[in-house]
Amino acid sequence: MRFLRTLVVCLAAALPLPAAMAEGIDYDRLDTRISKLATNEEIVGLAVAVIDRGEIRFAKGYGVTERGGAPVTDQTVFRWASLSKGVAASEVAILADKHQLNLTDTIAAFKTSLRLPGGGEKTATLEDVLSHRLGLVPNAYDTRLEDGWDPAKIRSSLAKLKPICPIGDCHTYQNVAYDTVSEIIEDVTHSTYADAVRHSIFEPLGMATASIGHAGLTGSDSWARPYSKRSKTPGPPEEKMVNDAYYLIPAAGGVNGSIRDLALYARAQMGLVPDVLSAAALDMLQTPRIYTSGEQRRMSSHYRGTVRDARYGLGWRIYKYGEAGNRVIGHRGAVEGYRSFILFDPERETGVVLLWNASTGLPNGIGFEVMDMVYDLPPQDWMELDTAPTNG
């Protein structure tokens, strides 16, 4: 029965909305502007989907999977980078909804390698991990991961750090520490992390090309190669090898998938697939746990106050959008050669998802142009397409 329900959802999501339902988002204008953005030399491949009042109204690829390669389609697989954190949190919420664990369980209650200063693993809860409230310096020991250290060894060594705040008191974004969630999920489910997520999330949602790990990316029929531009010198981004470091911490950065997969996942986060993510599970995920001052400063600088009151739930960021303070949920991801973006209004069952294989942040503007249309706000050039070049 679950398979039949998923099939019906997928078929319905692919159908266009009636004209009367398509008001708000100007898809012709959106396509024209994205097509123009895709000609930027810093863009290689890009995929965009829009969920409009519960249906996938727009899903399209732009550019190519690699220089001189095949066109990007809505089935081309990209790395999701830190959007993976929401997937891990969703798996935890599913397990909590089934009473297989509790968000207030301490890290020490599970078989994990995470050790915190002063034995903090005995008091830090699963909720603290998922909301980045462990009191560690931000991105603790990511450099060791990139240097090839074993993640479990890194997590054990975190006990030697000096905390910057008591556990639960401040938000400091983590990757290696966050991935202790994969250990907890494996301890509870008695399966690999990849199998647990595939069984609970990917398959029930019909995410046919979603996977975890390097092999899942490079084994796809269509996959985007990584590109990165480190300097500000003119010229296109350079092709890179797929960096395996963050695949070693799958709960923090291990997911791959197409834009169609990401759109189906976004629908579930809007409450549209309750047999996979129940209202109780979504409440766990999307309830703000802590104010994120650093994120607020960044959003204020880049988006001129359009997005404010930045907070963090479990693997998700929560904002107020526009003067009306519309509640939106989102996250961004970045790993060498790839970026990702998701932003949606669960009450309106509307949002936008983006994947691209380059280091530029310009495509983030697509998300804000879509949401401005959703809320009927004056159009702004978030993609920086109309900005005149300066002289001298």
Mean pLDDT of the chain: 92
From the centroid of its chain, how far is CA 212? Answer: 14
pLDDT for res 6:
43
User: The tokens of 192 are what?
Assistant: 């690999």
pLDDT for res 8:
38
The torsion region of residue 166 among left (phi > 0), alpha (psi -120 to 50) and beta comes to beta
pLDDT for res 300:
83
Across the chain, where does the E strand assignment appear? 45-52, 55-63, 77-79, 211-212, 227-228, 238-239, 255-258, 290-291, 307-312, 317-321, 326-335, 338-345, 350-356
User: The tokens of 366 are what?
Assistant: 């697509």
The series of mean pLDDT values per 10 residues for the chain, 392 residues long, is: 41 39 81 97 97 98 97 98 98 98 98 98 98 98 97 98 97 98 98 98 98 98 92 81 96 98 98 98 98 88 87 98 96 97 98 97 97 96 77 36
What structural domains and CATH numbers belong to the chain? Answer: 2-89+191-374 (3.40.710.10)
The torsion region of residue 112 among left (phi > 0), alpha (psi -120 to 50) and beta comes to beta
> In this structure, are residues 175 and 226 in contact, taking their beta carbons and an 8 Å threshold?
no
